Structure 1
Amino acid sequence: MRDPITAKQFHDAEGIDDWRVVSGGASAVYKTPSFSAGAAFAVTIATIADELDHHPDVDLRARSVTIRTRTHSTNSLTEMDVALAQRIQLAARELDLVADASAVQTVFFAIDTGRFDEVQPFWKAALGYKERAANELHDPKRRGPLFWFNDKPHRAGRNRIHVDVSVPHDLAEARVQAVLDAGGRLLGDRYAPAWWSLIDADGNVCDIATWRGRGDD
Structure 2
Amino acid sequence: MTERLTAAAVQSRAGLQDWRVLAGRLHATFRTGDLARGIELVRRIGEIADELDHHPDLDVRYFRVHVRSVTHDAGGLTERDVRLAGRVSAVAAELGVAAEPARPQQLEIGIDALEIPAVRPFWRAVLGYKDPQFPGDDPATADLVDPAGRGPSVRFQRMDVSRPQPGTVHLDIHVPHDAVRARVQAALDAGGRLVTDADAPPRWVLADAEGNQARLCTWEAPEG
TM-score, length-scaled by structure 1: 0.94
1:202 aligned to which of 189, 205, 210:
210
1:144 aligns with 2:140: no
Q: Look up the match of 1:114.
A: 114
Query: Which structure 2 residue ranges, 5 or more long, are not aligned?
Result: 133-139
CA contact 1:112–1:153 (8 Å) conserved in 2: no
Change (3 A) 1:4 1:164: same
Instruction: Give CA-to-partner distance per residue, 1:125-180, whole Å, 9 cap, x none.
Output: 11111112686111111101111111224532254111110000011101101100
State the AA in 1 paired with 2:155: W
Change (3 A) 1:98 1:14: same
Q: Distance in 2 between matches of 1:24 and 1:7?
A: 7
Alignment of 1:164-179 (within 5 A): 164-179=172-187
TM-score, length-scaled by structure 2: 0.91
Q: Distance in 1 between matches of 2:142 and 2:48?
A: 34
Instruction: Give CA-to-partner distance per residue, 1:27-54, whole Å, 9 cap, x none.
Output: 0000012111101100111110111111
Change (3 A) 1:89 1:110: same
Q: Distance in 1 between matches of 2:112 and 2:102?
A: 29
CA contact 1:2–1:80 (8 Å) conserved in 2: no
CA contact 1:135–1:150 (8 Å) conserved in 2: no
May I ask how many residue pairs the two structures share in their alignment? 216
Q: Look up the match of 1:185.
A: 193
CA contact 1:35–1:63 (8 Å) conserved in 2: yes
- The alignment-based identity, stated in percent, is 42
Alignment of 1:8-23 (within 5 A): 8-23=8-23
CA contact 1:154–1:160 (8 Å) conserved in 2: no
Q: Secondary structure at the match of 1:73?
A: helix
Alignment of 1:27-42 (within 5 A): 27-42=27-42
Q: Distance in 1 between matches of 2:141 and 2:188?
A: 34
Q: Distance in 1 between matches of 2:209 and 2:141?
A: 33
State the AA in 1 paired with 2:7: A
1:103 aligns with 2:110: no
Query: Which structure 1 residue ranges, 5 or more long, are not aligned?
Result: none
1:87 aligns with 2:70: no
Alignment of 1:158-169 (within 5 A): 158=165, 159-169=167-177
Q: Secondary structure at the match of 2:86?
A: helix
State the AA in 2 paired with 1:192: A
State the AA in 1 paired with 2:168: R
Q: Distance in 2 between matches of 1:154 and 1:178?
A: 32
Instruction: Give CA-to-partner distance per residue, 1:177-205, whole Å, 9 cap, x none.
Output: 11001011000001001100001101000
CA contact 2:177–2:218 (8 Å) conserved in 1: yes
Q: Distance in 2 between matches of 1:24 and 1:131?
A: 18
Q: Distance in 2 between matches of 1:140 and 1:41?
A: 26
